[in-house]
Amino acid sequence: MTSTITTRKSAQPTTTSTKLITATTTQSPAKSKQPTTIVANGKKKDIERKKENMDNMCNIDFYKAVVAEFLGAMFLVTFGCGSTLTLDPENPVEVISIATSFGLTVAMVIWSLGHVSGAHINPAVSIAMHVNQKISLARCLIYVVIQLLGAWAGAGILHGLTPPHRRGNLGATVLAPGVGIWQGVGVEFLATFVLVTCICASSDRRRSDHVGGSAALAIGLVITMELPWAVQYTGASMNTARSFGPALVTGNWSNHWVYWVGPIGGGLAAGLLYEYLFAVNASLNKVRACVLSSDYDDDKIQAKKIKVRIIEEDPEAQLECVPLTDSVEKAPLDNGKSDETA
């Protein structure tokens, strides 16, 4: 629906000017004008999609991305978990130091390797990106496996570089005494939910309100903010790979499943909520297309621009918005002049 904004004032000579303002709504995926072949159950489109995914996985850029995910997860465990250890028992590590180390390590990895692989370095992030149709299932599964291997390598490096009597549990995540299993799941769910929400918002290329800043720093600061709270309950994992690496090297599997269910559940919830509720092009049409369309493409669901013409007169005049109906095309002004909306 369009509308005209008019001003009401005494019949004095006025000068009018117009400005164009864009508003956004969402529209359903545009229909392709190219001829299509009808195949039962959309098998042709599925085959084409699988072929495209295989072509992408045979590209050298894919293997670069795999190496980047491995290195990113390895750095996270080596430097992040390493910050929990101390060689001087009389000077225990402060929580704020651990939080800063984890946050800055993640920011460094994103800044350095984000253009190569996206710098997920977290199974919860990769799974969230898959359910939001950002990456294929094959890429998601390979990323998760590589992240786990990278975390294992990082824990192994930390184990080899630390004197035996100072290794402790290599920063493995365990539930604090008195914390129930489902309380631990809840803490990990909430912490990962906030983290993945920030990741989705920071990486959303459709937003128009970005005026600078660093996505890497924003994500790192979220981890720095959350860790002092969550570490008291669960050790503040927020990342299944980060918990898996030290657990595999030390053999400490106590309630380890908590660090799979909590982070992955929180990441899934955050990814879906942002994509289909908070994103610029979020709409019921988008949800319907994702669920029912065999060739869903998020890029086809774009914000539709609507031009609105605003008539400016005396700044002291009172503004009135007059909606247009099917039978009314123009909203008259008091001085006898009229204009149309665009």
pLDDT digit string (tens) for 66-85?
A: 999 999 999 999 999 999 99
Domain co-membership, 87 together with 177: yes
Stated as kind and residue range, the H or E segment containing 317 is none
- Angle (nearest 5°) at CA 71 between 104 and 226: 30
Using pLDDT thresholds of 50, 70 and 90, give the confidence band for residue 228. very high
Domain co-membership, 268 together with 314: no
Domain co-membership, 209 together with 316: no
Least confident among 63-72, 268-277, 294-303: 294-303
CB of 181 within 8 A of CB of 259? no
Domain contains 37: no
Domain co-membership, 335 together with 201: no
The residues near 197 (Cβ < 8 Å, ≥ 6 apart) are 270, 273, 274
Domain contains 172: yes
The residues near 56 (Cβ < 8 Å, ≥ 6 apart) are 62, 136, 139
Tell me what the pLDDT averaged over the chain comes to. 78
Domain co-membership, 319 together with 206: no
- Selection from 133-137, 191-195, 280-284 with the highest mean pLDDT: 191-195
Report DSSP state, residue 298.
Answer: G
At residue 177, does pLDDT exceed 60? yes
Domain co-membership, 134 together with 270: yes
Domain co-membership, 282 together with 182: yes
Please tell me the predicted confidence (pLDDT) of residue 207: 80
Who wins on pLDDT, 277 or 161?
A: 161
Using pLDDT thresholds of 50, 70 and 90, give the confidence band for residue 14. very low
Which residue, among 24, 9, 38, has the nearest Cα to 304 in the 3D structure?
Answer: 24
Assigned token pair, 156: 């192994």
- Which structural domain range is residue 329 located in? 3-27+302-339
Domain contains 38: no
CATH of the domain at 206: 1.20.1080.10
- CA-CA distance, 135 to 13, in Å (whole number)? 60
Domain contains 36: no
Which residue, among 147, 123, 164, 149, has the nearest Cα to 267 in the 3D structure?
Answer: 123
Q: Helix, strand or coil for residue 271?
A: helix
- CA-CA distance, 339 to 342, in Å (whole number)? 10
What are the C-alpha distances in Å from 87 to residues 164, 167, 191, 328, 339? 11, 9, 30, 80, 77
Domain co-membership, 318 together with 291: no
Domain co-membership, 207 together with 244: yes
What are the C-alpha distances in Å from 118 to residues 48, 109, 279? 25, 10, 19
Domain contains 218: yes
Span 128-161, pLDDT tens digits? 999 988 899 999 999 999 999 999 999 999 999 9
Domain co-membership, 285 together with 329: no
Domain co-membership, 273 together with 188: yes
Using pLDDT thresholds of 50, 70 and 90, give the confidence band for residue 223. very high
Which residue, among 4, 2, 16, has the nearest Cα to 335 in the 3D structure?
Answer: 16
Neighbours of 242 (CB within 10 A): 30
- C-alpha dihedral, 181 to 268 to 275 to 283, nearest 10°: -90
Report the number of distinct structural domains present in the chain.
Answer: 2
Residue ranges in 231-331 assigned as alpha helix (H) = 240-250, 258-273, 284-292
Domain contains 48: no
The residues near 116 (Cβ < 8 Å, ≥ 6 apart) are 61, 64, 65, 68
Using pLDDT thresholds of 50, 70 and 90, give the confidence band for residue 290. low
Domain contains 52: no
Please tell me the predicted confidence (pLDDT) of residue 229: 97
- Selection from 19-33, 125-139, 230-244, 323-337 with the highest mean pLDDT: 230-244
Domain co-membership, 160 together with 237: yes
Domain contains 49: no
